[in-house]
């Protein structure tokens, strides 16, 4: 583990529970934090990133987003498999450099888009069929953690990846607005992403809300999916098959299927997929570096659209 802050600690904690891998040690630029976590988990606190890379087969990077390339690149160059927390990097050029390095070295580069492993999203798979309109809301109270980047790379990036994955079509157009509230960067944003196949996604993210909310709604020819990613539940609604005849009561026109998750911790699923890929399983449901790169590229398109819209919002 490189970086054992809040998220990095949970990575390390869960890894210690997985028998397929041995946790060699941790590194954090705050030596006292590394020592504290290492003592709790019974692993080594390494004095430098270089020493940690030398000692391991695979590395998980959970440092601040702006440092992702600086930490992941030397590990890839040394032939180590790497899982980088989202976003893959803070800039598309950095993300592309990591993807190119991994490809050249023939190693696994995975991106920590943990929502892909959300159990309610997995549970709704039988009902998914060519979404035409997607609406997502991701709201969170303010915290100083993650403010090295704007809300698009901090929070919205989760839903950007989900939308790209679910639609499976190139992005044709991006419109977006956003404003800073508590920091000098964009803290709340809304993006409308139109795809080449005609699908549209409306994505909202805020890190200055009083409540937490993570909801995803999908409208498709076969019906409507409403998913609560935080609570792990949802529903699928569709018209009843009544051989062309509708019941007298409109309330009976729809049939409802409840969707419930199996309760498996998403981060655990992410780590298990990464280890499967490292061990050479081609069917491992890992989120590849290429997907992380696409998400960062679209995030930057959204940021550019926000910049274009700001003069209008500010009355200039």
Distance CA 314, CA 293 (A): 32
Q: Of the candidates 76, 17, 41, which has an alpha carbon nearest to the alpha carbon of residue 275?
A: 17
Give yes or no for a contact between 222 and 237, defined as CB atoms under 8 angstroms apart. no
DSSP assignment of 48-90, as one string? SHHHHHHH-SEEEE-S-GGGHHHHHHHHHHTT-EEEEESSS-S
Q: Which residues contact 8 (CB under 8 A, 6 or more apart)?
A: 1, 2, 26, 28, 60, 62, 63, 85
| Superfamily of domain covering 6-115+269-287 | NAD(P)-binding Rossmann-like Domain (3.40.50.720)
Q: Same CATH topology for 6-115+269-287 and 118-263+296-311? A: no
Q: What does the pLDDT read at residue 145? A: 78
Look up the pTM and report it: 0.93
Two tokens, residue 5: 């802050």
Q: What does the pLDDT read at residue 178? A: 96
Beta bridge partners of 134: 201, 218
Q: What does the pLDDT read at residue 66? A: 95
Distance CA 13, CA 262 (A): 21
Antiparallel, parallel or unpaired: β 133-139 and 213-220: antiparallel
Q: In tens digits, what is the pLDDT along the chain, a chain of 316 residues? A: 999 999 999 999 999 999 999 999 999 999 999 999 999 999 999 999 999 999 999 999 999 999 999 999 999 999 999 999 999 999 999 999 999 999 999 999 999 999 999 999 999 998 999 999 999 999 999 988 778 899 999 999 999 999 999 999 999 999 999 999 999 999 999 999 999 999 999 999 999 999 999 999 999 998 999 999 999 999 999 887 655 566 666 667 788 899 988 778 999 999 999 999 999 999 999 999 999 999 999 999 999 999 998 776 666 6
Second CATH level (architecture) for the domain 118-263+296-311: 2-Layer Sandwich (3.30)
Q: Please state the domain extents for the chain.
A: 6-115+269-287, 118-263+296-311
Query: Residue 71 half-sphere exposure, CB side, CA atoms within 13 Å?
Result: 27
Q: What does the pLDDT read at residue 195? A: 98
Distance CA 275, CA 44 (A): 20
């Amino acid at each position: 583990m490189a970086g054992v802050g809040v998220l990095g600690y949970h990575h390390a904690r869960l890894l210690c529970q997985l028998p397929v891998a041995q946790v060699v040690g941790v590194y954090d630029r705050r030596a006292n934090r590394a020592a504290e976590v290492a003592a709790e988990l019974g692993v080594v606190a390494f004095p430098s990133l270089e020493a940690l890379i030398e000692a391991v087969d695979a590395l998980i990077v959970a440092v601040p987003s702006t440092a992702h390339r600086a930490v992941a690149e030397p590990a890839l160059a040394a032939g180590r498999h790497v899982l980088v927390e989202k976003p893959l990097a803070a800039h598309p050029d950095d993300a592309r450099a990591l993807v190119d390095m991994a490809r050249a070295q023939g190693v696994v580069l995975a991106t920590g888009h943990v929502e892909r492993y959300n159990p309610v999203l997995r549970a709704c798979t039988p009902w998914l069929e060519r979404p035409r309109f997607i609406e997502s809301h991701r709201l969170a109270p303010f915290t100083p953690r993650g403010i090295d980047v704007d809300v698009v790379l901090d929070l919205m990036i989760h839903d950007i990846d989900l939308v790209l994955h679910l639609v499976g079509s190139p992005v044709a157009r991006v419109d977006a607005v956003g404003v800073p509230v508590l920091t000098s960067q964009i803290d709340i944003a809304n993006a409308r992403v139109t795809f080449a196949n005609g699908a549209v996604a409306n994505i909202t993210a805020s890190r200055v809300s009083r409540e937490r909310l993570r909801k995803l709604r999908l409208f498709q020819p076969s019906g409507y999916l409403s998913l609560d990613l935080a609570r792990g539940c949802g529903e699928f609604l569709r018209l009843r098959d009544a051989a062309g005849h509708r019941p007298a009561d409109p309330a009976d026109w729809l049939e409802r299927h409840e969707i419930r998750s199996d309760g498996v911790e998403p981060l655990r699923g992410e780590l298990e997929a990464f280890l499967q890929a490292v061990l050479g399983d081609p069917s491992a449901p890992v989120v590849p570096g290429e997907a992380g790169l696409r998400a960062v590229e679209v995030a930057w398109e959204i940021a550019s659209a926000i910049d274009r819209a700001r003069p209008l919002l500010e009355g200039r």
